């Protein structure tokens, strides 16, 4: 087995390399290989984990299994040791996913929490995005249910004690059909309590109604497959019916709709030409502000805002400054999918960061599947995120996306090596890793409500098999990982530590080298991608090979214009030290790029 996954097979040809002297014009804003953007140091390194999955030691994995059968991770399972190991990977922020209390088929009525009706719950565990009480945490995640909030607060403190910051979900667009807060602070009026239910829309209603109609559970919905769910009878009493979370204004949503949720009213009359009523400030805006301030008071450091584009931009422009009055350093991340609106959500909407899913993720996915070309990466930095690349959160996995190692995506987790290197280093914005990605979790099998779709379920009680090998019954030592998995995890640790510590990657300018090398022998522009990141103090060269089966041996050219942009002299001789894979400094850029390989060279004068 190779010492590191990324050290290419074969010898690296070393030769003296001198860039030609030239009097070409200085780099200008019209240079097609770069932008005028001045990057900001926003290199958050985020580790996303679902406590329900992360700490679960049970390996039974029975489809549709109950919490007692399949187990469930707890807040307390995220121990000091676990946090130490996460931090060693270069992580700065931990996103605890699925914390807020949501609808579930597990009965906690003995603990004073009303039981849910299976007819409007998806999965035995329930969707963590069908919120039942904005002011409480999921009882599943507590060792002692009545102490669930203190256990979460202890996790926040434990995380901060390790010099890590805490992110959590904020779900603004919809709630569970069973929503009712029993943990709300004194004086808080619950959502919908004062609504005029005779009106389909009223500016200060919290929900949208369908007067005179009763909600109908979608025909054919089978909550637990071959099993019978709690209170399952194909009916759910809701009169008048409320609009469904994915903007469906029908009392009978389809089985493919978000029928387990109801849409919140932010002052947009969807059934009357989307007319708006934003003045005076709608009641829902104020209630959601108070909820965010409540969690900010728990010392969380930021919110990942679910489906941010499904509520009005004007709400974000109002609420984010309001919350930052309480904590100016708190951050807001938008799950956003419309590149045409990115700029508006950053400027008018006041978001700190946006998902880069439909840009970089989608294009890297194609390359990992041996489709597309590196020109798709060029389009991302040159067009989609030009001017605000430092504010784009980049990733290859999260709870919504298919696992890299799944048969639905790339099968081989090593396909992530070049793609994750680009993800982490292309710009100075945040990068995110999803728990299990670092050990090549393939998400095999149908878990219950979540079918065999290449994703780790968020709806069912489940153990994550490859992650559990690293978990090792709570030792968090990776003792059960294969040598290949240990190498993969080592790659992620090395990459994220370099990305988080390198000045050039954290805040350096960008310069693409495709045009300078596309005519070079052995430089296949379809599979190879190279670029520079640079500040006055540090200059690095990133080179990756997306081919799954072909080795390339190019000689990388750094043109005179790029040298000038970096403040380097073409008359000097430089060495190239691989920050990612280690090894002695090289005297030339005659490279041997194995399949699925990546390098990050620091450039220094001799």
What is the mean pLDDT of the segment spanning 315-342?
98
Instruction: Retrieve residue 386's tokens.
Output: 């030009």
> pLDDT tens for residues 243-287?
999 999 999 999 999 999 999 999 999 999 999 999 999 999 999
> pLDDT tens for residues 505-514?
999 999 999 9
Phi, psi of 298 (to 5 degrees): -85, 5
For 490-537, the DSSP string reads: HHHHHHHHHHHH-HHHHH-EEEE-HHHHTTSTT--TTTEEEEEEE-SS
Q: Which residues contact 143 (CB under 8 A, 6 or more apart)?
A: 74, 75, 76, 151
Element of type H or E holding 110: none
The confidence score (pLDDT) of residue 29 equals 54
Q: Is the predicted pLDDT of residue 27 greater than 80, yes or no? A: no
> pLDDT tens for residues 565-592?
999 998 899 999 999 999 999 999 999 9
Confidence of residue 30 (pLDDT cuts 50, 70, 90): confident
**DSSP 3-state assignment of 577?**
strand
What is the mean pLDDT of the segment spanning 428-438?
98
For residue 240, say if its preceding peptide bond is cis, omega within 30 degrees of 0: yes
Instruction: Retrieve residue 544's tokens.
Output: 């990756």
Q: Which fold has domain 45-105+117-175+278-500?
A: TIM Barrel (3.20.20)
Which candidate, 391, 425, 383, places its Cα nearest to that of 541? 425
Question: What is d(CA 482, CA 171) in angstroms, rounded to the nearest whole number?
Answer: 38
Q: Is the predicted pLDDT of residue 25 greater than 80, yes or no? A: no
> pLDDT tens for residues 469-483?
999 999 999 999 999
H helices, E strands: number in the chain: 15, 21
The confidence score (pLDDT) of residue 57 equals 98
> pLDDT tens for residues 192-212?
999 999 999 999 999 999 999
Instruction: Retrieve residue 328's tokens.
Output: 């100016």
**DSSP 3-state assignment of 304?**
strand
Q: Which residues contact 362 (CB under 8 A, 6 or more apart)?
A: none
For residue 566, say if its preceding peptide bond is cis, omega within 30 degrees of 0: no
Confidence of residue 7 (pLDDT cuts 50, 70, 90): very low
What is the mean pLDDT of the segment spanning 538-563?
98
What is the mean pLDDT of the segment spanning 54-79?
98
Residue 202: exposure state from Cβ atoms within 10 A (0-12, 13-18, ≥19): buried
- The b/e string for 40-75 (b: 16+ C-beta within 10 A; e otherwise) is eebbbbbbbbbbbbbbbebeebebbbbbeebbbbbb
Phi, psi of 471 (to 5 degrees): -55, -45
> pLDDT tens for residues 383-422?
999 999 999 999 999 999 999 999 999 999 999 999 999 9
Q: Where, residue-wise, is CATH 2.60.40.1180 in the chain?
A: 509-605
Percent share of the chain, pLDDT over 70:
95
Tell me if the domain spanning 509-605 has CATH number 3.40.50.720: no
Q: Which residues contact 187 (CB under 8 A, 6 or more apart)?
A: none
Q: What is the value of pTM for the model shown?
A: 0.95
Q: Is the predicted pLDDT of residue 160 greater than 50, yes or no? A: yes
The confidence score (pLDDT) of residue 20 equals 34
Element of type H or E holding 136: strand 131-137
Mean pLDDT (the chain, rounded): 95
Phi, psi of 241 (to 5 degrees): -65, 150
Q: Where, residue-wise, is CATH 3.20.20.80 in the chain?
A: 45-105+117-175+278-500
Instruction: Retrieve residue 133's tokens.
Output: 């009480």
The residue assigned the tokens 């979900």 is: 169
Please report, to the nearest 10 degrees, the dihedral formed by the alpha carbons of residues 308, 314, 319, 321 taken in order: 110
What is the mean pLDDT of the segment spanning 116-133?
98
What is the mean pLDDT of the segment spanning 419-443?
98
The confidence score (pLDDT) of residue 301 equals 98
The confidence score (pLDDT) of residue 4 equals 38
Q: Is the predicted pLDDT of residue 14 greater than 60, yes or no? A: no
């Amino acid at each position: 087995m190779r010492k590191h996954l990324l050290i290419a097979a074969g010898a690296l040809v070393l030769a003296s390399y001198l860039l030609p002297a030239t009097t070409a014009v200085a780099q200008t804003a019209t240079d097609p290989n770069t932008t005028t953007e001045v990057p900001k140091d926003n290199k958050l390194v985020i580790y996303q984990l679902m406590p329900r999955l992360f700490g679960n030691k049970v390996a039974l994995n029975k489809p549709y299994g109950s919490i007692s059968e399949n187990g469930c991770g707890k807040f307390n399972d995220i121990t000091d040791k676990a946090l130490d190991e996460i931090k060693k990977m270069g992580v700065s922020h931990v996103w605890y996913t699925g914390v807020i209390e949501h609808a579930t088929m597990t009965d906690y009525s003995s603990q004073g929490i009303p039981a849910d009706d299976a007819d409007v719950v998806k999965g035995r565990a329930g969707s963590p995005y069908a919120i039942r009480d904005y002011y409480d945490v999921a009882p599943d995640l507590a060792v002692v249910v009545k102490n669930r909030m203190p256990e979460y607060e202890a996790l926040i403190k434990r995380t901060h004690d390790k010099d890590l910051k805490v992110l959590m979900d904020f779900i603004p667009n919809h709630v569970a059909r069973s929503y009712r807060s029993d943990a709300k602070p004194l004086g808080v009026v619950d959502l919908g309590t004062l609504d005029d239910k005779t009106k389909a829309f009223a500016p200060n209603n919290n929900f949208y109604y369908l007067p005179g109609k009763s909600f109908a559970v979608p025909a054919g919905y089978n909550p637990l497959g071959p099993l019978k769910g709690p209170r399952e009878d194909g009916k759910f009493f809701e009169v008048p019916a409320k609009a469904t979370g994915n903007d469906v204004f029908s009392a009978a949503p389809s089985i493919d709709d978000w029928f387990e949720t109801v849409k919140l009213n932010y002052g947009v009359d969807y059934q009357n030409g989307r007319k708006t009523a934003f003045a005076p400030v709608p009641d829902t805006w104020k209630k959601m502000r108070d909820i965010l301030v409540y969690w900010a008071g728990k010392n969380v450091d930021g919110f990942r805002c679910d489906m941010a584009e499904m509520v009005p931009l004007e709400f974000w422009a109002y609420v984010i400054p309001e919350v930052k009055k309480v904590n100016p350093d708190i951050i807001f991340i938008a799950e956003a999918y419309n590149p045409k609106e990115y700029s508006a959500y950053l400027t008018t909407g006041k978001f700190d960061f946006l998902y880069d899913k439909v840009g970089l993720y989608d294009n890297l996915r194609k390359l990992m599947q041996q489709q597309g070309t590196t020109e798709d990466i060029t389009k991302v930095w040159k067009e989609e995120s030009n001017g605000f690349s430092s504010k784009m959160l980049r990733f290859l996995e999260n709870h919504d996306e298919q696992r890299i190692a799944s048969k639905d995506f790339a099968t081989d987790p090593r396909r992530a090596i070049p793609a994750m290197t680009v993800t982490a280093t292309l710009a100075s914005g945040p990068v995110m890793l999803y728990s299990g990605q670092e050990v090549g979790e393939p998400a095999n099998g149908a878990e219950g409500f979540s079918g065999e779709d290449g994703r780790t379920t968020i709806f069912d009680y489940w153990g994550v098999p490859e992650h559990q090998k690293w978990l090792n019954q709570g030792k968090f030592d990776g003792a059960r990982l294969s040598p290949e998995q240990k190498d993969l995890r080592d790659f992620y640790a090395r990459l994220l530590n370099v990305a988080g510590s390198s000045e050039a990657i954290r805040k350096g300018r960008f310069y693409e080298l495709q045009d300078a090398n596309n005519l070079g022998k052995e430089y296949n522009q379809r599979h190879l991608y190279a670029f520079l990141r640079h500040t006055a103090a540090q200059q690095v060269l990133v080179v990756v090979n997306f081919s799954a089966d072909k080795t390339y041996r190019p000689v990388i050219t750094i043109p005179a214009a790029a040298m000038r942009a970096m403040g380097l002299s073409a008359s000097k001789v430089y060495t190239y030290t691989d920050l990612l894979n280690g090894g002695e400094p090289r005297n030339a850029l005659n490279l041997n790029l194995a399949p699925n390989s990546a390098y990050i060279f620091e450039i220094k004068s001799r």
